[in-house]
Amino acid sequence: MNDSLRILLAVQEVDHLIAELKSELATLDDGSKIRSAVFLAQSEIEKMKASAHELEKEIRDGEWEMQSINSKIKTLEDKAFSGKITNAKELSAIEADIEALKRTVGKIEDRLIPLYDQLEAKKSEINDLQVKIEAASVKAEKLKQSYESKSKSINEKLSQFEQKRQEFAKRADPQLLRKYEQIRSKLARDAVVPLKEDKCGGCRMSLSSIAISSLKDDSKVHSCDNCGRFLYIEE
């Protein structure tokens, strides 16, 4: 194999390793998606807490209203059963007021019962979501730590291979290296390929017997007439 081509092949092999490491780095999970989900869940919890707070306020207001009415009922009952009311009409009016107040209390209780259920369900939902958030936060932290460790190792290897590539690139023929990089950029595939079954190992175009014979001349660098890739015969 031509020495210039051998150097390009070494560059290509390092490029493969660099690409694999970059691909591996890109697929690492740093937990950011989980952290984003946790952030949204925390925002949702704040809304749920605000809703629960409104329910609690409505319940407190209802309970205070009932307490106030029950206090009035007790006052009226004490007055009615004190024996001091001798007028039947007045006593009847007091009893009517008591019954009206009791009906009001009943209506308030009917209004509060579903609110109690809603508040209990809301608190349970908040608690369940908090448990999930805590578990997700722990997982996200573990992924972050794992990512930091793995990415550090990969970046160190990348640095080593990129340095090695620079060393090979310095030894390569500048013109051939430019063509190599143009081919890789254009085709997004190998720029240096072997002859396979009398065909270009890249585009699979068949080569003439004359072209195949010329590949045996190591004093020159040969290219595929179809795709432009550098060709060599595997040793």
For the chain, give every domain's residue range.
6-171, 174-232
Number of other CB atoms surrounding residue 197 within 10 Å: 7
**204 Cβ contact partners less than 8 Å away, ≥ 6 residues apart:** none
C-alpha torsion angle, residues 14, 223, 212, 171 (rounded to 10): -40
Bridge partners of 194, per DSSP, are: 232
Residue 45 has pLDDT above 90, yes or no: yes
Could you read off the pLDDT of 174-214 as tens digits, one per residue? Answer: 999 999 999 999 988 899 999 999 999 999 999 988 888 88
Full DSSP string of the chain: --HHHHHHHHHHHHHHHHHHHHHHHHH---SHHHHHHHHHHHHHHHHHHHHHHHHHHHHHHHHHHHHHHHHHHHHHHHHHTSS----HHHHHHHHHHHHHHHHHHHHHHHHHHHHHHHHHHHHHHHHHHHHHHHHHHHHHHHHHHHHHHHHHHHHHHHHHHHHHHHHHHHHS-HHHHHHHHHHHHHHSS-SEEEEETTEETTT-PBPPHHHHHHTT-TTS-EE-TTT--EEE---
* Per-residue pLDDT, 163: 97
User: At residue 117, what is the residue type?
Assistant: D
Bridge partners of 196, per DSSP, are: 199
Number of other CB atoms surrounding residue 222 within 10 Å: 21
| Domain 6-171, CATH | 1.10.287.1490
Residue 1 has pLDDT above 90, yes or no: no
Residue 145 has pLDDT above 90, yes or no: yes
Could you read off the pLDDT of 50-102 as tens digits, one per residue? Answer: 999 999 999 999 999 999 999 999 999 998 888 887 888 988 999 999 999 99
Cα–Cα dist 197/217, whole Å: 18
Range 33-51 average pLDDT: 96
* High-pLDDT (> 90) share of the chain, %: 84
